[in-house]
Amino acid sequence: MQWFGPLWLALTFAALGMGFYQAATAPREATMGDLYRVFFYHFPHTILSFLWPYVNCFASFAYLYLRGRDQEKAQAADALAVASAEVTVLYASIGLATGMLWGRAAWGIWWAWDARLTTYLLLWLLYVSYLIVRRFSAGGQTALIAAVLAIFAAIDVPICYESIRWWRTQHPAPVFGGGEDAGIDPSMWPAVLWNVGAWLMWGLLIIGVRYVVERRKQRYQAATALDFLNSGDDTVEAA
């Protein structure tokens, strides 16, 4: 299985290159001209930032279930939760940044407190707060507190996803699955699909790498703590 990682990396870069080529060569849009090409990066990042929180939520549930049963598996679930939360923040940050840049050029404003933008900002803040809790909470309850927070944070995802259907405000209606008038020209589909696929592959790759790093860190911290306790025992005995 040593070849799997490099192969996945090579395929991901090839797909990202193809996605970029498709986005650059797709036909111009009638109303917005070239500006609409932001969509080929804004849409994949936004839609995937609705997927990673479910990985985080699943891993958090798994941690809560396993922590009293199998400590090793619980730690693995916690590592997956950290990895997916970081990638959620990354993808949501890009969704926000590309959306604001697009909004400034298309609407003339950087930001509007409409339903989609507000719930999306809330989503971003929730996962940033998750990472802050993990980074700065003291004691041995960090993983437990983070797991509970992750489950509450995931509730915002369906609200944010449906917000452009439930409340018609500044953000455009859904492009896909938004009714008869929605959709894109068939010639634009390859750029959308290549970019969704490529950024999905990239996301899975970085979650995988981050997971392995976190597992190594957990084992190192456990070994260091054990060494410390053992050295403490020696001190007691010597005394």
Partner 1 sequence: MIGFQTLAQRHLVYAYCAVWIMQFGYGTWLLLQWRKSLRWKKATEPEQTDPVVPRSHA
Q: Is 38 in the site for partner 1 (CB under 8 A)?
A: yes
**Which range touches partner 1 (CB under 8 A), out of 48-56, 101-109, 152-160, 181-189?**
101-109
Q: Is 220 in the site for partner 1 (CB under 8 A)?
A: yes
Give the shortest CB-198-to-partner 1 separation in angstroms: 11
Rank residues 100 and 145 by Cβ distance to partner 1 and give the closer one.
Answer: 100
- Is residue 143 exposed (0-12), middle (13-18) or buried (19+ Cβ within 10 Å)? buried
Give the shortest CB-47-to-partner 1 separation in angstroms: 14
Contact, 40 vs 191, CB < 8 A? yes
Q: Is 168 in the site for partner 1 (CB under 8 A)?
A: no
Among 18, 101, 131, 200, binds partner 1 (CB under 8 A): 101
Among 51, 90, 121, 175, binds partner 1 (CB under 8 A): 90
Number of residues forming the site for partner 1 (CB under 8 A): 32
Among 7, 11, 17, 34, binds partner 1 (CB under 8 A): 34
Among 10, 11, 24, 229, binds partner 1 (CB under 8 A): 24
Q: Is 122 in the site for partner 1 (CB under 8 A)?
A: no
Q: Is 109 in the site for partner 1 (CB under 8 A)?
A: no
- CB within 8 A of 74, min separation 6: which ones? 62, 63, 66, 67, 143
For the chain, the DSSP string reads: -TTHHHHHHHHHHHHHHHHHHHHHHSPPBTTTBGGGGGHHHHHHHHHHTTTHHHHHHHHHHHHHHHTTT-HHHHHHHHHHHHHHHHHHHHHHHHHHHHHHHHHHHHTS-S----HHHHHHHHHHHHHHHHHHHHHH--STTHHHHHHHHHHHHHTHHHHHHHHHHHS-SSSPPPSSSS-TT----GGGHHHHHHHHHHHHHHHHHHHHHHHHHHHHHHHHHHHHHHHHHHHHHHHHHH-
Q: Is 213 in the site for partner 1 (CB under 8 A)?
A: yes
**Whole-angstrom distance, CA of residue 65 vs CA of residue 239:** 42
Q: Is 219 in the site for partner 1 (CB under 8 A)?
A: yes
Q: Is 229 in the site for partner 1 (CB under 8 A)?
A: no
Q: Is 130 in the site for partner 1 (CB under 8 A)?
A: no
Rank residues 64 and 92 by Cβ distance to partner 1 and give the closer one.
Answer: 92
Q: Is 37 in the site for partner 1 (CB under 8 A)?
A: yes
Q: Enumerate binding residues for partner 1 (CB under 8 A).
A: 24, 32-35, 37-38, 41-42, 45, 86, 90, 93-94, 97-98, 101-102, 104-106, 202, 206, 209-210, 212-213, 216-217, 219-220, 223
